[in-house]
Chains A and B, each alone.
Chain A
């Protein structure tokens, strides 16, 4: 029954996250509230990692697959994207590269300065 109990805990936290998403007027999704609830439960000792571990690791491992259906939806977005296609072809690689470079370099700089 170990896996069932782990799944129950995870789905219950997701459910509480959804309630918060409904009640709090911010565009923060249920999953993020749930992440914070689980983190607080673990660090305060309400939950032990052994109560969720295997099921949690399984869900994290298969997470990339969960984006495939939404991405396949791009096949219907052709018309909407076509008006700004050139801009997007430049913008997505350029701004993402700038962001990754800035976040990575700044984090590394502050870490190494301390050492």
Chain B
């Protein structure tokens, strides 16, 4: 019965999502710790509630998908912060290019080595290869190389949340202080979810992170097939 309600009342899924996110924001303000990440808290709360009330994911999603519907126009709009920091990009072009490339190559090399260590199959390897790029690009790469797309999506989202939460620790441990470097690292390795954190850090970080999503995504389209050909 409650499944029917969630399917018919289309705003139930959307309202639940937004309320859970507000709760996440509240906890973050209260405790000021990166672990209280609004996305993570919202996801945990919604899953807990759905499990508790025995609501199917599909019933929840029939309303909540209208929130995700805005993802394409929102991605388009990342061009605005990028445009406003275009001079910063021009001044740091070489650094940005080297940074994005080293982020992608080291990330994929890491996936390759760990797949070898854990003796994963080639299918599992290519499923994980696009884990750092934005969801839509990653799905396409995984499909093309013969991976399991649903797992790729799950791993991409977890990677994004990990970067969003832990990037600050990595930056302070390694004394990464340049705003451009922080933005490039977040966008290259944890796509749009990492960019959400970069936007909070500052305008330069947000702009560079937006740029890195697009550039890293397209470079991965080119480079992932080469990595896929490596003998596992």
Complex formed: what's the CA distance from A101 to B21 in Å? 29
Q: Is A72 an interface residue (CB 8 A)?
A: yes
Cβ contact of B160, chosen from A35, A67, A73, A99, cutoff 8 A: A67
Complex formed: what's the CA distance from A93 to B165 in Å? 11
Asked whether, in the complex, the Cβ of A100 is within 8 Å of the Cβ of B163, the reply is yes
Cβ contact of B181, chosen from A68, A88, A108, cutoff 8 A: A108
| Across-interface contacts of A91 in B (CB, < 8 A) | 110-111, 114-115, 118, 128
Q: Is B140 an interface residue (CB 8 A)?
A: yes
On chain B, the number of residues with a Cβ less than 8 Å from chain A's Cβ atoms is 110
Closest to A40 in B: B79
Closest to B127 in A: A84
| Across-interface contacts of A101 in B (CB, < 8 A) | 106, 170, 174, 185
Asked whether, in the complex, the Cβ of B17 is within 8 Å of the Cβ of A38, the reply is no
On chain A, the number of residues with a Cβ less than 8 Å from chain B's Cβ atoms is 76
Asked whether, in the complex, the Cβ of B57 is within 8 Å of the Cβ of A76, the reply is yes
| Across-interface contacts of B185 in A (CB, < 8 A) | 99-101, 103-104, 107
Asked whether, in the complex, the Cβ of A77 is within 8 Å of the Cβ of B150, the reply is yes
Q: Is A46 an interface residue (CB 8 A)?
A: no
Chain B residues close to A by CB (< 8 Å): 13, 17-18, 20-21, 38-39, 42-43, 46-47, 50-51, 57, 60-61, 64-65, 67-68, 70-84, 86, 92, 94-96, 98-100, 102-107, 110-111, 114-115, 118, 120, 124, 128, 131-132, 134-137, 139-141, 143-144, 148, 150-151, 153-155, 157-163, 166-167, 170-171, 174, 176-178, 180-182, 184-186, 188-190, 192-193, 195-196, 199, 210, 212-214, 217-218, 221
